[in-house]
Amino acid sequence: MGLIDNLLLGFETALTWQNLGYAFLGCMIGTFIGLLPGLGPLSTVAMLLPVTYSLPPAGALILLASIYYGAQYGGSTTAILLKLPGESSSAVTMIDGYEMAKRGRAGVALAAAAIGSFIAGSFGVLLLATVAEPLTQVAFLFGPAEYFSLMVLGLVGSIALSSDDIDKSLGLMVLGLLLSLVGTDINSGEYRFTGGFADLTDGIELTALAMGVFGVAEIAVNLEQYNRDKQSNRVVAKITQLLPGKADFKRMMPSILRGTAIGSLLGALPGAGVTMASFAGYAVEKKMSRYKQELGHGAVEGVAGPESANNAAAQTNFISLLTLGIPGSAIMALLLGAMIIQNIQPGPQVISKHPDVFWGLIVSMWIGNLMLVVLNLPLIGLWVSMLKVPYRILFPVILVFCSVGAYTARASVFDIYLLGIFGIMGYVLIKLKVSPVPLLMGMVLGPMLESSFRRALMVSQGDLSIIYTRPLSLSLLVAAGVLIVVSALPSIVRKRERVFSEA
Amino acid sequence: MAQSIRIKHQPNFVLGGLYALAGAGFAVTSLNYDMGDLSYMGPGYFPFLLGILLAALGSLIMIRSLGFSQEVVRLSGWNLRSISWMVGSVMIFGLALEPLGLVIALVLLVVLASLASHEFTWRTTLTNALVMVVLNVGGFVYGLSIPFPVFPEILSTFLQ
């Protein structure tokens, strides 16, 4: 089947009323939570994961995916109008976006962000559609040893580019791996680390962990800030002219293209993700733009570049999940969880066994990007009014959805207690200044990592060299090693700190 | 000032300690399970390796956090009020859900959580709780048919 046939199949799936509805709903939710500082796509996807149990597979994935890229659109609105990062990926957009807003050019900044995101998103989806099938062919050459090494690469990649010390995030990832092993061992049927709790024999519920660490803990931290500031009225910049003029278009197009290129590339790398992409997008503008001296003083390039980059990355992020079954970021890890719930075994066989789900999801991502432009530009007034929902109303609502969501996953009160316990754990981690993301990555990949390790060594009859003598497996491990070494180099560490402190 | 080894980075020292404890705990517990050998690993093998790795990383972080007295990074900003209210209200929701049902448990959750805000008012909180009850009972119980106990247990036995 050619790409055209595949895309036609995708349109067939994506254009059903139900799936259009899920994409629309996801884009609305995504934009909304993107707007709100302190509520991100990660906690939202975690909250809605249990709800998708009862949806058909394509619908569930379309809904969750659209929340993710929708949040990239919403985040820029808050950054431009309020100078608050609605999402961490729009933190650099604040710099020039808010300067533009102060000069009465908020509308142009919003339009640049939306148009840039749309172009970048469309390109990202197209790239995903073209490389997916060839990549799955490569994946069929994979044995258990290669899978093991690939997962190691994915895990290492997810921590190498974070701003934390490598040993701290590595430790958290190992803890995540260990927590994922709690429950029944598939090979022997023996219960591990259950401490006698019958509720733990099925393992720790992923959604309870994710919502505890990213929902409950973050609410507590945000609430401290909010109670300390004692300030609830936010000043929203006024929007006057929405459509950019010819001159603006001419200036933003090169930035959009540069942002798209760098974002697509970074999104496809395991571990890099959207935040890294927007920072890189801004850095590229600073180096390459003809107007680089204006950056920081309200240049449209400073909005178009990073916003295009983060949205391109949001699409190409799906590549390794959909073709290899390896999530490159924490959100992708949750989507992997959603696939498992839907009885879709993640990996290269998804494309051949569930072509409708696969191509439907890809096409719906493009349709979703189109919806988002429509939702974000003409309806901007609606979103601005939503920015005025006070936190004192919002946070109990988030807490309710976390608690109800924890129960819904398995109809188990035990999972509500787990939610609380992981809330405490997440709070301690945030206070000790470690990002909890590697914990989630470890939690999701743990069972697959263990079983591929066991199978590889069963094949080789206990000879460990199987992992580092097969060329494909070795090159993956070498790549992981290079990432660790590079990220531990002092000069890189300093640079990275500078990039993140510029936010 | 006398040069003496001291904890330079308190957050890292605590974190390393927690890792080391957790790693050791997992490694020791793994010994209770069958280890097998490399060609046929038992349930204890892989977690034992990971536990050792975590304990080693934790010790490394603890050692790195020590040093000759220079600038000291202290543990700071701990304000147990918010986290206790949040986790407390989640736990009470869990305790209340089965005996008292979803409606009462949700009201308890919203009211208790809202009390942690400096802008608490009964009016907004109760409206918020009411909206949550309607949304959740409508969406989860009737919409998605999730088997939630909706009303108190006593009431339902009384009604039968």
Higher-pLDDT residue of B52, A438: B52
| Nearest CB neighbour to A167, from listed B41, B57, B91 | B57
- B113–chain A Cβ distance below 8 A for any pair: yes
Count CB atoms within 10 A of the CB of residue B76: 8
- B48–chain A Cβ distance below 8 A for any pair: no
pLDDT at B77 over 70: no
Residues B64 and B94 in one domain: no
Give the three-state DSSP class for B146: coil
Q: Quick check: is B75 in a domain?
A: no
pLDDT attached to residue A428: 93
Residues B31 and B84 in one domain: no
CA distances from B64 to A63, A165, B70 (A): 44, 11, 13
Task: Please judge whether A393 and B128 are an interchain contact, meaning their C-beta atoms are less than 8 angstroms apart.
Answer: yes
Higher-pLDDT residue of A38, B45: B45
Residues B112 and B139 in one domain: yes
Contacts with A229 (C-beta within 8 Å, 6 or more apart), sequence order: none
Residues B62 and B21 in one domain: yes
Task: Please judge whether A223 and B98 are an interchain contact, meaning their C-beta atoms are less than 8 angstroms apart.
Answer: no
| Nearest CB neighbour to B15, from listed A192, A417, A432 | A432
Q: Quick check: is B74 in a domain?
A: no
Binned at pLDDT 50, 70 and 90, residue B3 comes out as: low
pLDDT attached to residue A361: 93
Residues B87 and B53 in one domain: no
pLDDT attached to residue A343: 86
| Nearest CB neighbour to A400, from listed B19, B22, B136 | B136
CA–CA gap between residue A488 and residue A499 (Å, rounded): 16
Residue A455 structural domain: 3-501
Residues B87 and B124 in one domain: yes
Residues B98 and B155 in one domain: yes
Q: Is B59 exposed, middle or buried (0-12, 13-18, 19+ CB in 10 A)?
A: middle
CA–CA gap between residue A171 and residue A154 (Å, rounded): 15
Residues B54 and B124 in one domain: no
pLDDT attached to residue A480: 86
- Between helices A166-180 and B45-65, what is the axis angle to 10°? 150
CA–CA gap between residue B143 and residue B135 (Å, rounded): 10
- B24–chain A Cβ distance below 8 A for any pair: no
Find residues 51-110 of chain B whose CB sits inside 8 Å of chain A. Answer: 51, 53-54, 57-58, 60-61, 64, 75, 77-79, 81-83, 85-87, 89-91, 93-94, 97-98, 106, 109-110
Question: What ipTM describes this predicted complex?
Answer: 0.91
Q: Quick check: is B128 in a domain?
A: yes
Hey, what are A148's tokens? 């093991």
pLDDT attached to residue A161: 62
Residue B99 structural domain: 80-159
pLDDT attached to residue A503: 36
Residues B110 and B143 in one domain: yes
| Nearest CB neighbour to B54, from listed A178, A220, A419 | A178
All residues of chain B having their beta carbon less than 8 Å from the beta carbon of residue A403 are 90, 93-94, 109
User: E strand or H helix at A453, and its extent?
Assistant: helix A437-459
The domain tally of chain B equals 2
CA–CA gap between residue A290 and residue A280 (Å, rounded): 17
CA–CA gap between residue A302 and residue A368 (Å, rounded): 25
Task: Please judge whether B144 and A54 are an interchain contact, meaning their C-beta atoms are less than 8 angstroms apart.
Answer: yes
Per-residue pLDDT of chain A (503 residues; tens, 9 = 90+): 578 888 888 898 888 999 999 999 999 999 988 887 767 788 788 878 877 878 899 999 999 999 988 888 888 888 888 777 777 778 788 888 888 888 888 888 988 999 999 999 999 999 999 998 888 888 778 888 988 888 888 888 777 766 677 888 899 999 999 999 999 888 888 899 988 888 898 889 888 898 898 889 888 888 887 777 765 455 666 666 667 778 888 888 999 999 999 999 888 876 667 877 888 888 888 888 888 788 888 888 889 999 999 999 989 989 888 888 878 777 888 898 889 888 888 888 888 889 889 999 999 999 999 999 888 888 888 887 877 778 888 889 889 988 988 888 788 899 999 999 999 999 999 888 888 888 988 888 888 889 889 999 988 888 888 888 888 889 889 988 888 887 777 655 555 555 554 43
Give A168→chain B minimum CA distance, Å: 7
All residues of chain B having their beta carbon less than 8 Å from the beta carbon of residue A193 are 26, 29, 47
The domain tally of chain A equals 1
Binned at pLDDT 50, 70 and 90, residue B5 comes out as: low
Residues B15 and B52 in one domain: yes
The H-assigned helical ranges of B31-149 are 45-65, 80-100, 102-114, 122-136
Hey, what are A187's tokens? 């090979």
Instruction: Report the predicted TM-score, pTM, of the whole model to 2 decimal places.
Output: 0.83
Residues B96 and B126 in one domain: yes
Give A378→chain B minimum CA distance, Å: 28
Do the beta carbons of residue A321 and residue A327 sit within 8 Å?
A: yes
Q: Quick check: is B22 in a domain?
A: yes
Higher-pLDDT residue of B57, A384: B57
Question: Which residue of chain B comes nearest to A413, CA vs CA?
Answer: B94
Give A424→chain B minimum CA distance, Å: 7
Mean pLDDT of all residues in B11-32: 94
DSSP, res A292: G
Residues B92 and B152 in one domain: yes
| Nearest CB neighbour to A193, from listed B23, B26, B146 | B26
Give B69→chain A minimum CA distance, Å: 21
